Structure 1
Amino acid sequence: DSGRACASNSTVCPVCRLVLTQCTDYTVFFGCGHGYHSQCLGERKLCYKCLNDKGWAPVATNYAVPSPRPPERPQILPPAFMRQRDLATLRLGAPTVLPDLEGIF
């Protein structure tokens, strides 16, 4: 199975709990998608999560964790009645007269 591509669903080594990409050690990915540091696996080359020793791929050195995409926001448009008007001119409303409340409180 050497030379085959396999998708990884691991970002953390289940043995040492360190992020796979933030370590200087080599990373081994199995056909099941689990990844380990090569030193954490030892000589057996066994996936400890599925107890599978078949389908392990050689050392991967160019693995990068994909960054999550931000959610897409819907485009915000003004209501239809505002889109039909010329909003370039500023119109001021009538001044609001507030009663004088001095001395009441």
Structure 2
Amino acid sequence: MSHAKNAGRFLLNEERADWHDQTLWLVRRKRDAQAASVPGWEALRERASHIKEDALAHLDTYLEQLEAEAVKNGVQVHWASDAGECNRIILNIIQKHGAKHIVKSK
């Protein structure tokens, strides 16, 4: 089922939708209170936004730098052009080593 259909079904339950809205606004109020307690919050937020934009604009360069450092430390890096290729690489590694369990991490 699509996200849009699930969202539509969710919204039909008024009590649940109200709970969801209240929770979101509570989280927002808490975030705003914390932000107000940090001197220069908006400047920090703006700086973080620029760092993110730069990282995304130069992602290829940063990934190559990461790979070079990882290889220096004995890590084997695998590149995949899409999710399918990534899954094939992972499956090959699992089969090569006869793994029975794997751990996913971010």
- On whether the aligned pair clears a TM of 0.5, the verdict is no
Q: TM-score, normalised by structure 1?
A: 0.17
Which gives a bigger RCO, structure 1 or 2 (Cα 8 Å, sep 6+)? 1
Quick check: which one's helix share is greater?
Answer: 2
Quick check: which one's strand share is greater?
Answer: 1
Look at both structures and tell me which one has the larger radius of gyration over its CA atoms: 1
Q: TM-score, normalised by structure 2?
A: 0.17
